[in-house]
C-alpha cells in the first residue's frame, strides 16, 4: 500500500473517533482502538492507544522492512494521536496467534517508554506492556462488557475463569464483589494482582488459582464452592502448564457445563469468544443448549454492542444468561 492511500485511511479513522475520544476522556478512559482492521479499510492493520503510547499490530510477514509503517508512526505523533509508537508483526493468519518476528524494544517513532506503562478504563488503572508478547495486557473490545459485569456483580461472588491480567476481576472487585480469578499462567495472575494493587484493592478475600479451568471445576465442586456470576472469556487455543491443549471449538460444551455446576440459583453466566466462525446468535444457542443439557434453564440478557472504536466488524461475540433456578 502506498503512503498516500494509508494516510487517507488513518485520517478518516482518527476523524471518526474525535467525538468518542472526548466521551472516553470524560469517563477517565485513556485506552481505545484508533484503527480497527477491515472496519477502517485495511484488514492487516490494528492500532491501539494506551494513554499516550500507540501500538501498531500488523498482520503481514516482514512488514517492518516497509518504510510506510515508520511514516505512519511519525504521522500519528504529528497528529497528536500518540507521543510514542511501537509495532508488533503477526502471522497473517490470526488464528495462529503467533508473533512472526521479535518485537522491537525501540519505538518506530517518538521517545522510548518503560516496559510497563499505565492506562485508565472507566476510572480504573491497568498495567500495560506495549512491546511484549501477543497482547499488551488489556483487551479493549471488552470495555463495555467489563462495565456491565461490574455493575451486575456488586457485592456478589464472582468467578473469572480465564482471568489473564484480571481486568474483569478488578472491575468487579471495585464494586465490592468477592472474586476468584483462574488462569493457567502464574505470570498473568501476578500481573493481575498488581492491577489490584494499582487500584488500591486489597487482595485479601479474593482468590487466585494458577490452574487448568477443568481441574479447577473439579476441585471447586469438591469444596462445594458456588458463584453468583461466572465470567468465561477463553482464548480460541491455549495449552496448560502441563502442555495439555485447550480448544474452545472442541471444549465449549464441557466448559459451559462445568460453569453450570458452580452457579448459584438465578446465577449469571457471561461467555464470549473471538472465534470468527461464531456470531452472538450462534453463541447464544450454544449456551442455552449446554445449560439445558445440564438440566438448567435461563434467559438471555442483552449485552452491549461492540465498542464504537471497533467499527461495524464484530470482532467479539458475547452472551449473558441468567439462570431460572
Sorted by where each begins, the domain ranges of the chain are: 3-128, 140-323
CA distance 32 to 45: 15
Where are the alpha helices (H) located in 181-318, listed in sequence order? 186-198, 213-223, 248-260, 280-293
Instruction: Identify the weakest region by mean pLDDT among 56-65, 87-96, 180-189, 222-231.
Output: 87-96
Q: Residue 96: is its pLDDT beyond 50? A: no
CATH class of residue range 140-323: alpha beta
The model's pLDDT over 267-280, given as tens digits with 9 standing for 90+, comes to: 999 999 987 778 88
The model's pLDDT over 107-157, given as tens digits with 9 standing for 90+, comes to: 999 999 999 999 999 999 999 999 987 789 999 999 999 999 999 999 999
Reduced to 3 states (helix: H, G, I; strand: E, B; else coil), residue 318 is strand
Asked if the domains 3-128 and 140-323 are classified in one and the same CATH topology, the answer is: no
Percentage of the chain surpassing pLDDT 90? 75
Q: What is the pTM of this model?
A: 0.94
Q: What is the CATH architecture assignment of 3-128?
A: 2-Layer Sandwich (3.30)
DSSP string, 180-200: EEEES-HHHHHHHHHHHHHTT
The per-residue pLDDT for 312 is 66
Report the pLDDT averaged over residues 254-279.
Answer: 91
The per-residue pLDDT for 14 is 97
The per-residue pLDDT for 306 is 84
The per-residue pLDDT for 42 is 96
CA distance 263 to 206: 18
The per-residue pLDDT for 147 is 96
Amino acid at each position: 500500500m502506498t503512503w498516500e492511500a494509508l494516510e487517507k485511511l488513518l485520517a478518516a479513522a482518527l476523524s471518526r473517533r474525535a467525538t468518542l475520544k472526548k466521551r472516553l476522556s470524560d469517563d477517565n478512559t485513556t485506552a481505545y482502538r484508533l484503527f480497527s482492521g477491515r472496519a477502517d479499510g485495511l484488514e492487516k492493520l490494528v492500532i491501539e492507544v494506551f494513554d499516550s503510547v500507540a501500538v501498531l499490530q500488523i498482520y503481514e510477514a516482514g512488514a517492518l522492512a516497509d518504510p510506510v509503517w515508520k511514516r505512519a508512526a511519525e504521522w500519528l505523533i504529528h497528529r497528536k494521536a500518540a507521543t510514542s509508537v511501537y509495532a508488533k508483526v503477526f502471522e497473517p493468519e490470526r488464528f495462529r496467534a503467533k508473533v512472526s518476528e521479535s518485537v522491537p524494544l525501540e519505538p518506530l517513532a517518538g521517545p522510548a517508554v518503560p516496559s510497563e506503562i499505565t492506562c485508565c478504563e472507566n476510572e480504573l488503572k491497568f498495567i500495560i506492556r506495549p512491546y511484549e508478547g501477543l497482547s499488551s495486557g488489556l483487551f479493549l473490545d471488552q470495555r463495555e462488557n467489563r462495565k456491565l459485569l461490574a455493575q451486575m456483580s456488586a457485592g456478589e461472588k464472582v468467578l473469572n475463569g480465564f482471568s489473564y491480567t484480571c481486568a474483569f476481576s478488578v472491575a468487579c472487585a471495585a464494586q465490592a464483589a468477592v472474586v476468584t480469578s483462574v488462569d493457567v499462567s502464574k505470570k498473568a495472575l501476578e500481573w493481575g494482582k498488581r492491577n489490584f494493587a494499582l487500584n488500591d484493592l486489597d487482595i485479601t478475600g479474593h482468590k487466585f488459582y494458577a490452574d487448568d479451568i477443568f481441574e479447577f471445576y473439579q476441585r471447586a465442586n469438591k469444596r462445594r464452592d458456588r458463584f453468583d456470576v461466572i465470567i468465561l472469556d477463553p482464548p480460541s487455543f491455549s495449552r496448560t502448564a502441563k502442555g495439555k491443549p485447550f480448544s474452545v471449538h472442541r471444549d465449549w460444551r464441557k466448559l459451559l457445563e462445568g460453569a453450570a455446576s458452580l452457579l448459584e440459583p438465578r446465577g449469571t453466566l457471561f461467555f464470549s469468544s473471538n472465534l470468527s466462525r461464531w456470531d452472538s446468535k450462534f453463541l447464544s444457542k450454544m449456551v442455552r443448549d449446554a445449560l439445558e443439557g445440564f438440566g438448567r434453564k435461563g434467559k438471555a440478557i442483552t449485552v452491549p454492542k461492540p465498542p464504537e472504536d471497533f467499527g461495524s466488524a464484530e470482532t467479539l461475540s458475547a452472551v449473558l444468561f441468567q439462570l431460572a433456578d
